[in-house]
Structure 1
Amino acid sequence: MARPLPIQKTTFPKKVERKWYLVDAAGKPLGRLATRIALLLQGKNEPTWSPHYDNGNFVVVINAEKVKLTGKKIKQKVYYHHSGYPGGLKSQTAEQILQKHPERLIELAVKRMLPKTTLGRHQFKRLKVYAGETHPHEAQKPEKVELL
């Protein structure tokens, strides 16, 4: 008769030590940047990652206004939202969003890559995006990370 396999137990950290990462978006392609930011927010770079456990990190993105869209996406990519009323479909091109609110391009790209659950909404709250070079998170001493 064969011996049964030993039971493996999953261990979870008692307290999550969240790290702060600083990402410079200047000249980086939007999609590739967003995928790597989403992985940091979810904590998939940590050895203790688990799909039901939130051990993600904080990510500060600077220079959002200098993010790069390849090809003709700057003119042709359209973002839609609806007011909820009949005939309330609104649309903006990526160029319009980049001129008015450059942070929103990165926020939308990352938000759509996170899980559409309560866990994903908590992870998205740890994303801080700024259009320029300066940010108010110097006290947290974010670790500069080169994603590409």
Structure 2
Amino acid sequence: MEIQFVIDQLEEVAQKIISANPNKVILFHGEMGVGKTTLIKQLCKVLGVKSATSSPTFSLVNEYEATNNQLVYHFDFYRLNQETEALDMGIDDYLYSGNWCFIEWAEKIPNLIPEAHSTISISILDDGKRSLTLN
């Protein structure tokens, strides 16, 4: 799926992503400031998360409860130095839990990503719109 959008259309974009039935482990790729965290916040909202969401840059993972007692995990591995740090925090338990796992900076843990995952790539176009690809 490929979408071009402006930030005001994020709710619609998030609904399209969830409706596309992606794998529950989703890797987010894009330059810093492109809107990965903002999109993840909107995905959480679409999934029924009522609590405030924020970037887990320092904690590495935030956990949210969505509707139907579903759990959503949001990872930010930007500050990770080695894959072993992710193993030490129990990343396997999260990734194979069957819950939603949204992962920013997944390139820091390439050997730990489950085979069954989806990828969202976001870039900013010259006109300021975002281009999103879901694979």
TM range (shorter): under 0.3
TM-score, L = length of structure 2: 0.27
TM-score, L = length of structure 1: 0.25
Larger proportion of strand: 2
